[in-house]
């Protein structure tokens, strides 16, 4: 009886942690749209609108996609956990604190026309990915919070959650900054490669 109660509390702990995390991701995306205001000096022409809003809309699109990648990575990671503990809470809150800064980083991109905001923004996204990596290291290698799986699968997930957000963000801005599709093509190749590796490791996971 006591084991059943303990298991129920652990499941509730993990469930509430995931719900709170989902709320932070949703709020971060909502704040992105709230910070976008109509352009000053707009003459009412559609072409003029997109010309004046180009930097804001592109920054918004990249951040929206980045938050989506981070959320998917977070969802996949936590779907492999069967319980949570205090250290997982702390690491997850650290990661969410960085996610909550993304609207500020996005605003800097369109307000400050220099390389500094871009470096800070990509660094922020990379830091979020690395923090997700720390979450997985604790869950899968130290705290034993994850479901049983082979070492190869655990290392693959670690590389994916740690490196993919920073690469995705950096390559997106590379394409946007140079006006070439190579960054987006590289993202497609990386995603395809990860999908093939994941499919190959799938029997090990089961």
pLDDT tens sequence across 50-82: 777 777 888 888 889 889 989 999 998 999 999
Model-wide pTM > 0.75: yes
Show me where the domains of the chain are located: 2-205
> Residue 102: is it exposed, middle or buried by C-beta count within 10 angstroms (0-12/13-18/19+)?
buried
Closest Cα to residue 128, out of 30, 25, 36, 56? Answer: 25
Kindly report the CA angle at 123 between 122 and 127, in degrees rounded to 5? 120
Average pLDDT over residues 153-157: 91
If phi > 0 it is left, if psi is from -120 to 50 it is alpha, else beta; for residue 44 that is: left
CA-closest candidate to residue 169, choices 133, 111, 126, 128: 126
Cα-Cα-Cα-Cα dihedral sign, residues 156, 206, 136, 74: positive
How does pLDDT run across 100-129, given as a tens digit for each residue? 999 999 888 877 777 788 889 999 999 999
């Amino acid at each position: 009886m006591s084991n059943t109660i303990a298991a129920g509390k652990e499941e509730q702990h993990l469930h509430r942690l995931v719900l709170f995390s989902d709320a932070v991701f949703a709020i971060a995306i909502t704040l992105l749209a709230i910070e976008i205001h109509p352009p000053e000096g707009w003459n009412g022409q559609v072409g003029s609108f997109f010309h004046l809003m180009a930097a804001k809309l592109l920054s918004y699109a990249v951040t929206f996609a980045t938050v989506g990648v981070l959320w998917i990575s977070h969802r996949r990671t936590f779907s492999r956990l069967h319980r949570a503990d205090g250290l997982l809470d702390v690491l997850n809150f650290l990661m969410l604190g960085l996610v909550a800064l993304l609207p500020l980083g996005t605003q800097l991109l369109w307000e400050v026309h220099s390389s500094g905001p871009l470096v800070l923004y990509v660094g922020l996204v990379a830091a979020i990915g690395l923090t997700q990596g720390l979450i997985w290291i604790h869950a899968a290698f130290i705290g034993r919070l994850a479901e049983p799986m082979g070492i190869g699968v655990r290392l693959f997930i670690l590389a994916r959650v740690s490196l993919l957000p920073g690469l995705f963000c950096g390559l997106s801005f590379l394409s946007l900054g140079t006006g070439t599709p190579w960054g987006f093509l590289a993202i497609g190749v990386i995603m395809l490669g990860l999908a093939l590796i994941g499919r190959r490791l799938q029997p090990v996971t089961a």
